[in-house]
């Protein structure tokens, strides 16, 4: 590469055609990864839209449906370490194909369900594993493989795929469910999943070397470039450091308070308080729009300030917003909460990925962030299951919301305990890195 900027791509050929010298090919890879994450987010968040109609059609309880979603969230996270190892071995392109095929099968089968075990198998297993394989770990790996400069910004950009997916799909799916019935929702998502195969097949590349390039900014940062050749740090070695467990435990709370509590139960909670279904879904869409701003801003800030302080601030801010939610009794109150919470929803991802890379090295991100993200989804599954049962026992979600707020404040304290990360060039195979 020559310098920085969009003109820094080297002269190379892709599939026999001279590539452009204007744009670095990694941005094309980022665009494809973003679209895959966008649709995957719509698929993963779709079950929350179907809770009320499934209750009406089949008579299943909120706890039954919460359990199925908890399986989805748990496997979404548990597949992350496997996805991290697979992406290092077979590359992002093949992993994308596998994930899309798996949740495509799940969507097709969902149309014909008539029993809880089928719901658990398709929503829980197929959708959970398929969307998990194409989610945060894949995005983090793409960002760290293709970028040295602006890595935090790219992680933040890819992280916004989740919020953008919810912004687009939750209101659309709710409108479709109201107009045509809930089975039309999985049908639409299945068609979109099939369409993803085209850009992945034609333009997705695994590594900068596939197009004769180097990671963006590698020549401008020799210290980080040296880290590219350092061996990866495995789970056993990383687990001996307090930073690994602090990142895991704080991300557990992140999953519990985002995907598990709010992502699963905010819609039914809002509908129970008299807010029309489509209006409530639109509010969640607004929350997704605010998260786009918050996560992208988090990525930009992660490149400029101490990510530990940033992470602690985000968790504290989330705790305050969750303390507000039990007092939201109408649409205006819900809208205020959606704006506040949305700014912080996935803003924790860029500093968490950056701290993982800084402490353990970029070659370790796929595997170690996979395990950290597994903790995130373990927290999500716990909250989805627990909040469903709290709703059954107490008749409302207030206890669950207050518990989530308290956990978020605890996570802020955990993030502040993370030691100053080592420079990436010093996190290598030597004993000091352990």
3-state secondary structure of 216: strand
Q: What angle do CA 59, 60, 62 make, to 5 degrees?
A: 125
User: What pLDDT, in 10s, does the model give residues 101-144?
Assistant: 999 999 988 888 888 888 888 888 999 899 988 888 888 888 88
User: How would residue 278 be classed by pLDDT, with cut points 50, 70 and 90?
Assistant: confident
Distance CA 156, CA 346 (A): 9
Q: What phi and psi, each to the nearest 5 degrees, are found at residue 330?
A: -145, -175
Mean pLDDT of 92-105: 91
**Which residues touch 36 (CB under 8 Å, ≥6 apart)?**
96, 100, 134, 138, 161, 196, 200
pLDDT of residue 226: 52
CB 290 within 8 A of CB 342: yes
Say if CB 95 and CB 133 are below 8 A apart. yes
Please determine, for residue 45, whether its predicted confidence score (pLDDT) is greater than 70: yes
Q: Where are the domains of the chain?
A: 24-211+222-420
* Per-residue pLDDT at 402 exceeds 90: yes
Burial grade of 343 (CB within 10 A; 0-12, 13-18, 19 or more): buried
Encode pLDDT of 175-220 as tens digits. 888 888 888 888 999 999 999 999 999 999 988 888 887 787 766 6
Task: State the pLDDT at residue 49.
Answer: 84
d(C-alpha 431, C-alpha 427), whole Å:
10
Q: Given this model, what pLDDT does residue 75 score? A: 85
List pLDDT tens digits, range 212-270.
877 877 666 555 545 544 566 778 888 889 999 999 999 999 999 987 898 888 888 88
State the average pLDDT over residues 313-317. Answer: 94
pLDDT confidence of residue 318: 93
What does the pLDDT read at residue 319? Answer: 92
Q: Put residue 7 in one of left, alpha, beta given phi > 0 → left and psi -120 to 50 → alpha.
A: alpha
Q: Which residues contact 16 (CB under 8 A, 6 or more apart)?
A: none
CA distances to 326, 348, 414, 421 from 251, in Å: 23, 8, 10, 17
Instruction: Tell which wins on pLDDT, 360 or 29.
Output: 29
pLDDT of residue 232: 66
Identify the CATH assignment for 24-211+222-420 out of 1.20.1250.20, 3.30.420.10, 3.40.120.10, 2.60.40.420.
1.20.1250.20
- Checking if the pLDDT of 396 tops 60, the result is yes
Backbone angles phi, psi at 13, to 5 degrees: -120, 140
What would the pLDDT profile of 279-308 be if each residue is shown by its tens digit? 887 777 788 778 888 888 888 888 888 889
Q: What average pLDDT is seen over the chain? A: 81
Question: What distance in Å separates the CA atoms of residue 334 and residue 397, rounded to the nearest whole number?
Answer: 14
Residue with tokens 């109150």: 333
pLDDT of residue 420: 60
The pLDDT of residue 367 is 79
With beta carbons less than 8 A apart as the criterion, state whether 127 and 107 touch: yes
């Amino acid at each position: 590469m020559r310098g920085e900027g969009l003109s820094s791509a080297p002269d190379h050929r892709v599939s026999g055609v001279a590539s452009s010298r204007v744009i670095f090919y990694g941005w094309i890879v980022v665009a494809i990864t973003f679209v895959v994450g966008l649709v995957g987010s719509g698929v993963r968040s779709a079950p929350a839209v179907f809770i009320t109609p499934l209750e009406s059609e089949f008579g299943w309880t909120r706890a039954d449906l919460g359990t199925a979603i908890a399986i989805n969230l748990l496997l979404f996270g548990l597949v992350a370490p496997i996805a991290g190892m697979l992406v290092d071995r077979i590359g992002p392109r093949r992993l994308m194909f596998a994930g899309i095929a798996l949740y495509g099968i799940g969507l097709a089968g969902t149309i014909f369900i008539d029993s809880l075990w089928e719901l658990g198998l398709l929503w829980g297993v197929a959708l959970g594993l398929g969307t998990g394989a194409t989610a945060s770990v894949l995005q983090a790996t793409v960002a760290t493989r293709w970028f040295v400069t602006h890595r935090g910004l790219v992680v933040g950009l890819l992280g916004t795929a989740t919020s953008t997916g919810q912004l687009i799909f939750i209101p659309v799916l709710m409108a479709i469910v109201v107009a045509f019935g809930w089975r039309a929702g999985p049908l639409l998502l299945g068609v979109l999943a099939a369409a993803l195969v085209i850009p992945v097949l034609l333009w997705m590349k695994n590594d900068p070397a596939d197009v004769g390039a180097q990671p963006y900014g590698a020549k401008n940062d020799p210290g980080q470039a040296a880290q590219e050749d350092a061996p990866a740090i495995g789970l056993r070695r990383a687990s001996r450091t307090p930073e690994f467990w602090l990142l895991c435990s704080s991300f557990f709370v992140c999953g519990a308070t985002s995907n598990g509590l709010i992502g699963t139960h905010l819609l039914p909670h809002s509908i129970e308080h008299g807010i029309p279904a489509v209006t409530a879904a639109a509010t969640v869409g607004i929350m997704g729009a605010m998260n786009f701003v918050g996560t992208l801003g988090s990525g930009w800030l992660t490149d400029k300030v101490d990510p530990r302080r940033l992470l602690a601030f985000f968790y504290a801010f989330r705790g305050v917003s969750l303390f507000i939610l039990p007092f939201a009794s109408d649409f205006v109150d819900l809208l205020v909460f959606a704006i506040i919470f949305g700014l912080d929803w996935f803003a924790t991802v860029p500093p968490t990925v950056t701290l993982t890379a800084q402490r353990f090295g970029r070659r370790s991100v796929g595997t170690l962030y996979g395990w950290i993200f597994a903790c995130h989804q373990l927290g999500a599954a716990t909250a989805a299951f627990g909040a469903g049962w709290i709703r059954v026992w107490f008749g409302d979600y207030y206890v669950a919301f207050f518990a989530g707020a308290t956990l978020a404040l605890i996570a802020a304290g955990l993030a502040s305990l993370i030691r100053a990360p080592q420079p990436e060039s010093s996190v290598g195979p030597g004993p000091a890195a352990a």
